[in-house]
Structure 1
Amino acid sequence: MSSEPSAARPASTILLLRDGADGFDVFMMVRHYQIEFASGALVFPGGSVDAADGDIIARPELFASAAADCEPALEFRIAAIRETFEESGILLARPRGSDQLVAASRAAEIEASHRTALCEGKISFAEILADNQLVMALDLLVPYARWITPEKLPKRFDTWFFLAEAPPEQLGMHDGKESTDSIWLSPNEAIEGGESGRFTLPFPTTRNLIRLGKQPSVRQALEASRGQPIVTVMPILSRDGDKRTLRIPAEAGYDGEVFEFTGS
């Protein structure tokens, strides 16, 4: 008798983009080799939705009220911004009452004072926002994709991918614990690194990089995705002898339907 699939844990990730001299770059990090999930892989900053993200919903002064009407559920957007701050130090927020993003110098001060404590659970993200009179810039997040781990795998996530233009002059830096390196690079450079063996790229990361690399600039990448329907992708894992494949919906807009699966 087959066992029931494990539950998929809600999660969020952000593809932070910035224009470069030739196209645009995306911020990525190398996961620590001792991390249980995607160890050693080159990934976008992100992580699981936690209870504290849900608690923030009861405090609308910490986010723009219009964001409550957006898809996906608000806690996914909140988690995306919190996890990005935890993992990269990049803060997508505005001073309360301002239309401008928090200045890079001020963001650096907040990162130096609170990031480690947040990662260690000594302070909440809500406290950081409230103490510094900040409002999350949830409107900057453009829903890009939704991937759910195949049912046959033991550790599963239901992950929303967002696009966002990185705040000017906030460069980002890995935390040295969950991630051991960080880099800004073009989508095509990341793909080429995966093909050459320089990087280890998870399957969803590769597919989203290929799709993103078809856009020539940050503005066009955001415009092409804004308001577009999101087709949920839950790959179907199949085995034929030693060969394993993943099938995804053609209407999701990726570069095919059936792919060889080489993961564990």
Structure 2
Amino acid sequence: MSRSATRGGPMMMRPGSTKWSVNLSSDRRKAVSFGSHFEMEDDRQGVGGGWTVRSDVKVQPSERLQVVVTPRYNEDNSGHQYVSATETMPYSPTFGVRYLFADLSRRTVSMETRLDWTFTPRLSLQLFAQPLLSSGDYVQYKQLATSKSYDFLEFNPGAGFNTAGGVACPGICDLEGRQYVDFDGDGTADYSFRDRDFNVRSLVGNAVLRWEYRPGSTVFLVWQRRQSDYAFAGNLDFQRDATALFEAPADNRFIIKMNYWLGL
């Protein structure tokens, strides 16, 4: 039982799940090594679950240079993603408030890259970059049927259209970027909310050059770059999303930090 699923509302059951994972790796002492991780989770209610696969490749041609690349892909399905709550047409089994949920299908792909290069004992460079593409598709909207349960009242998708008296909608209808819900079955929408489908594209990168210009005294030259973009497609399309990411506005920052050891 938990209140977090209803955001502080009535208690709601949380289904149990089974998780298992497999890890493989090669000899990390070699100049080129790799590792991989596979994880799967299954919701015992048969609604949610997902899987993740991650690999890493480390290249270390010398003690002074190391490059690590870690691609990752994840699929996650939730059968009880919170959407909204409303007192429209009070619903007594959940204390006068209707709690709306959805099945959410998420897809995420990312790749983390790290480089550590020591030119001399006093001069070194660190690089980090992580592009990430993620999508969320909300399907099968539904309402919590009663408190202390994992039972839902599912809304059947219909076709909505505008009328002089409001939006005509049997069940639930997607119209102009909003979801319209008919609670009492009279064919007219009683409540609406913005469509929750999303796409997130982001790129985080930084570089740090460290120079110890005298014993105990250092200068750090730092470059930070961030790019992000948000859309409402709901599906993951690598070519489309990667293009949108690299065309997104970038925020570049340059920082200089200096330490001087007085030696008093």
- Report the TM-score when normalising by structure 2: 0.23
Which fold has the larger relative contact order, with Cα–Cα distance below 8 Å and residues 6 or more apart in sequence? 1
The structure with more strand, counted as a fraction of residues: 2
TM-score of the two chains, using structure 1 as the length reference: 0.23
Bigger radius of gyration, 1 or 2?
A: 2
